[in-house]
Amino acid sequence: MKNEEQHAIVLFDGVCNFCNDRINFIIRHDKKDYFRFAALQSDVGNKILAEHKISLANPDTFILIENQKYFDRTSAALRIAKHLNGFWPLLFVFIIVPPFIRDVAYKIIAKNRYRWWGKKESCMIPNAEVRAKFL
């Protein structure tokens, strides 16, 4: 996808309230306009997954596609933090911790996200202000 050359793409569970809150957080802290977004359940999301040969039986993670590579779970989160404004890039130091350790809490949250934060009936519809950030 041509857009990937200029922007990193975040694929997320579009019906998950917690996931949508995280996307809104990224948008608020993405002062360089680096990220673009698509729900995993959307046609665009499915097309991007197919282009990168990513198979997801269950959208229990979000995916970052950056420089033609994809990352998930805490690897994606830390790489996203590296591009945000404020002190968030400092978190990237945790990339040295092996993923099997970093991902423990991530997997617990992902498994329980609907029960703890709920879910929507359909993917969120971005407002006019941020619509251009969505593919």
Give the residue among 14, 72, 76, 17 at the shortest CA–CA distance from 43: 14
Other C-beta atoms closer than 10 Å to the C-beta of 95 total 15
> Where exactly are the structural domains of the chain?
2-133
**Third-level CATH fold of 2-133:** Glutaredoxin (3.40.30)
Other C-beta atoms closer than 10 Å to the C-beta of 84 total 19
pLDDT tens per residue across span 25-75: 999 999 999 999 998 888 898 899 888 888 876 667 889 999 989 999 999
pLDDT tens per residue across span 100-120: 999 998 888 888 887 888 776
pTM: 0.83
